[in-house]
Amino acid sequence: MKSKIIASLSIILVVLALAAPALAGGWAVITLERLPSGVVVGVPLTVRFAVRQHGKTLLPDLTPTISAHNAQNGDSFSIDARPVSGSLGRYEAVLTFPSTGTWEWTVQAFTMDQRMPDLVVSANSPVSQALPKEGSRLPIMIGIVGLVIALAALGVSLRTKRRWVLSLFVLGLMVGVAGFAFTASKAEKSNEPVIASQIASDVETGQTLFIAKGCLTCHVNNRVESKYYDFRSDIGPNLTSYKGSPEFLRIWLKNPASVRPNTGMPNLELDAAEIDALITFLSAKAD
């Protein structure tokens, strides 16, 4: 009797021990495939991500949970992700945000939550917001009207030779030229801030990728807001004032093992644009 109990207990223990790596598993790196952008309220957003146990092994057969919370009005929801069939260790979930605002969200694969970059959910499509406003077309309209008046006056003055018609021609010409000149100067001016903000947003994109790709699980960078740290990891070096060259980084981030075959850093399958943004972020001077 006693030996039977011991036997079944040991069977249970063996089963538990075999199951343990799948259950406990330590820590994981979650890597978002694409940074979501232009998220609109009520419009489903598909997110895909990979789960790597200890940053190395792609883990299948999980049911990761995504939890989202609107920092402004307290709305929240959570949803399970499904494995992407035929793609080991990759999962997919469809998120539909019920309200506008800044949403905080995390992915939990099996042990800890990995916080993802906050998402701004807007009321309507960013494409329609980007269309030029009526007002910005006004100077060019005035310019055209001015030239039309000038041409008409010119036509009349050729036949009548009246003084006032000639003045009308000059006036129309001046208004026309002023309208076009104003439009041109505006176009020139508006180029500058766009270029500046592109550079700024590259650093920002790099920082967002640093969070979304799971770099934070292994590296600290003091420029990243503290709310994104579950703990400050020392698995990889602190990258706050990283000095490596862009040329080296391009090779390293593409495939670390091609530089050091035994490195603890995984190949996170970053594309060229993501690598560029990460390099801009890592090379930016601390503010």
Q: Does 228 bind ligand HEC (CB under 6 A)?
A: no
Cα separation values, 108 from 55, 97, 105, 208, 210, Å:
15, 18, 10, 19, 18
Q: Which is nearer to ligand HEC, 168 or 279 (CB)?
A: 279
With contacts defined by CB under 6 A, name the span among 72-80, 121-129, 149-157, 244-252 that binds ligand HEC.
244-252
Q: Does 237 bind ligand HEC (CB under 6 A)?
A: yes
* Cα(57)–Cα(144) distance, integer angstroms: 65
| Among residues 265, 276, 277, 280, the one that binds ligand HEC under rule CB under 6 A | 265
- Virtual CA dihedral for 194, 195, 200, 204, nearest 10 degrees? 80
Q: Cβ(270)–Cβ(278) under 8 Å?
A: yes
Q: Does 49 bind ligand HEC (CB under 6 A)?
A: no
* Cα(171)–Cα(126) distance, integer angstroms: 41
| Among residues 112, 142, 236, 255, the one that binds ligand HEC under rule CB under 6 A | 236
Q: For residue 209, give the 3-state DSSP assignment.
A: helix
Q: Does 32 bind ligand HEC (CB under 6 A)?
A: no
Q: Cβ(130)–Cβ(194) under 8 Å?
A: no
With contacts defined by CB under 6 A, name the span among 35-43, 142-150, 188-196, 246-254 that binds ligand HEC.
246-254
Residues that bind ligand HEC (CB under 6 A): 29, 55, 210, 213-215, 217-219, 235-237, 239, 242, 244, 249, 252-253, 260, 263-266, 268, 278, 282
